[in-house]
Chain A
Amino acid sequence: MMSLVLLAEQVLNGLQFGVMLFLMAAGLTLIFGVMGLINLAHGSLYMLGAFAAASVAAATGSFTLALLAALAAAAVAGVIVELLIIRRLYDRDHLDQVLATFALILIFSEGTRWAFGSFPLYLDIPPALSGPVSLPGGIDYPLYRLVLIGAGLLIALGLDLMITRTRIGIRIRAGENDREMTAALGIDISRLYTLIFALGAALAGLAGALVGAIQSVQVGMGEPVLILAFVVIVIGGIGSIRGALLGALLVGLTDTLGGVFLPEALKLVTDPASAKAVGASLASMAIYILMGAILIWRPTGLFGGRA
């Protein structure tokens, strides 16, 4: 019974991690699907959101204002970067895109270190959302993490509705399929691109702020998340929002459950000390092994149609 409670807790942790990864992956996959751009600097926007939230929360004490600041800061930074640099890269090959966005990471990371110093900032969970909540089955689980899961799933639903049901969604899908034809029908393609980039940036900034309240806010925090978001996209298939959600949940659950249960499972076959060490090493590799397996099975990802 005890282990069942533990299992339920870890599944919730995995879901929470997964939906936050989704917020990152959704923007990345949209930007790649529509504009054909690989954006390494997406993690910097995540970091920027977290720093904006932590500073505004420290100044005003309001978590709501902090979240709004994160959204605004990341979206504005997204628009500026898109107008100045990113739009010159759409016609370039992936190598140029990788290098230019790698350069952006250097600028954003060192710029943030220059402005805020190397010490981490902290963002407090608002009082209304702090503390545990009792779930059926005798599980006490932090309310804030439950709210994150709910918020992430709501955003996923909203994005899906936006893409499939609204006029802007139709334009996004049209831009994904045929850029020239869409432009010929009188849609301002470059404005659409700026909008999509800003939307992706805002989602990343929001994720950074939300996660910033349960981790420390520091320079470089976006990069591990960025690489995991890439794994999510490889698993889910480029350009697919649904694929991103499924991939994010798979990666979140694999990472969290692997970290807890692999060392436990190895204790059955070897001594506790080496089970802990080997289990931790294996757990850190689990999601990449998952990615490799899915690649062998479906090279373009679960929802990906084309290479």
Chain B
Amino acid sequence: MSREAQVNLAVVVALVLLPLAAHLMGESYWVTLATRAAVLALAGVGLNIALGQGGLVSLGHAVFFGIGGYSMGILAYHAQTYTPLIESFGLPGTNLMPVIWLVAAISAALAALLIGALSLRTTGVYFIMITLAFGQMFYFFALSWPTYGGEDGLSIYVRNRFPGVNTLAPIQFYGIVIAVLLLALLLSHRLARSPFGLALAAARQVPARVAAVGLDPQRLKLVAFVLSAAVTGLAGALFADLNRFVSPTMFSWHTSGEIMVFVIIGGVGRLMGPVVGAMVFVLLEHLLGGISEYWQIAFGVLLLLIVLFARGGLIGLVAGREKAHG
């Protein structure tokens, strides 16, 4: 087993056992903290498909996170007020998690198809600036659209239902989140080794050669972008359910930056990178945030040091540099 595989296994074991231990010791606050880390990790796993596998530096993933959040907010709002979602069809809202997840992932994927088709006309720094700008567009739209709370956001009073699970018990909700996260990690792992994933990696490294064997690099990247958005959208729905609240902040560009930070702290293109990154972020937020309200100064310095001096992220520090692929 390689060093990285050992690290990955240790992370999975910690994900399952530590919150369980916290639950048994009656520390439900730590369970909630772990849930937050797992949801943010899921958003990072989504981004890592575009960033790590596709080489797409998207600074607009808050769009998909926010769309996921608002999918949950809007569906649950109509369910809790017993109003139809679309007046003329009499289509009701819902508080059933699997339905909400499906809507969240599909809505985020559709938005990504549109944004990706436009943004992928460009590369490099243009791509970064354009994804950032589209993110800001959704942010301002959510701020100024009064139907679903506008600036104030939207509160959902009861956490949504999942058949056979009491979602209000922190440890049971954590169980749902961790199951989704592990599934997404499995998907991401399989994707990287699938024919599509190999073609995508090639399109990231040498687009011209991919084109020469008859594949369209732009199309591969667009598919990766859409898949990536669907996973981040799902994370947005879970994040909203965790807080029972959605607001335009989910769309803000700081959210995009933070999701990217999780991926980088852990290690770009590493399977468990986003998980380690999100765990460290939530832990620092909790520990440093308890010491000073200005903890982000220290966090900024730490991030600078990692970018300047630890280029493989934390997993890179522990597991060594990634093997060069041919």
Contacts and interface: CB of A to CB of B under 8 A. Distances in A.
Interface stretch (A4-12, A102-110, A145-153, A174-182): A102-110
A230 B305 CA distance: 26
B124 interface: yes
Interface stretch (A88-96, A123-131, A133-141): A88-96
A288 B63 CA distance: 14
B304 interface: yes
A138 B271 CA distance: 66
Given A102-B303, A103-B307, A292 B118 contact: yes
Contact of B301 (A94, A103, A114): A103
B56 to A, nearest CB: 10
A102 to B, nearest CB: 5
A110 B294 contact: yes
A106 B288 CA distance: 14
Interface in A265-287: 277, 280-281, 283-285
B300 interface: yes
Contacts of A292: 118
A92 to B, nearest CB: 8
Interface in B117-154: 118, 121-126, 128-130, 132-134, 136-137, 140-141, 143-146
B308 A85 contact: yes
B129 A38 contact: yes
Nearest to B133: A231
Interface of B: 51, 57, 59, 118, 121-126, 128-130, 132-134, 136-137, 140-141, 143-146, 253, 257, 260-261, 264, 268, 294-297, 299-301, 303-304, 307-308, 311
Interface string A75-105: 0000000000100100000111011101111
B307 A285 contact: no
Given A106-B296, A113-B294, A299 B121 contact: yes
Contacts of A96: 307, 311
B131 to A, nearest CB: 10
Contact of A295 (B123, B130, B141): B130
B300 A98 contact: no
Nearest to A293: B118
B248 to A, nearest CB: 11
Contacts of A107: 296-297, 300-301, 304
A100 B307 contact: yes
A32 B1 CA distance: 44
A84 to B, nearest CB: 10
A184 interface: no
10 contacts: A32-B125, A38-B129, A95-B57, A100-B308, A104-B300, A284-B140, A284-B143, A292-B118, A299-B126, A300-B126
Contacts of A300: 122, 126
A94 B126 contact: no
A238 B126 CA distance: 8
B146 A277 contact: yes
A132 interface: no
B125 A285 contact: no
Given A99-B260, A104-B304, A234-B129, A281 B122 contact: no
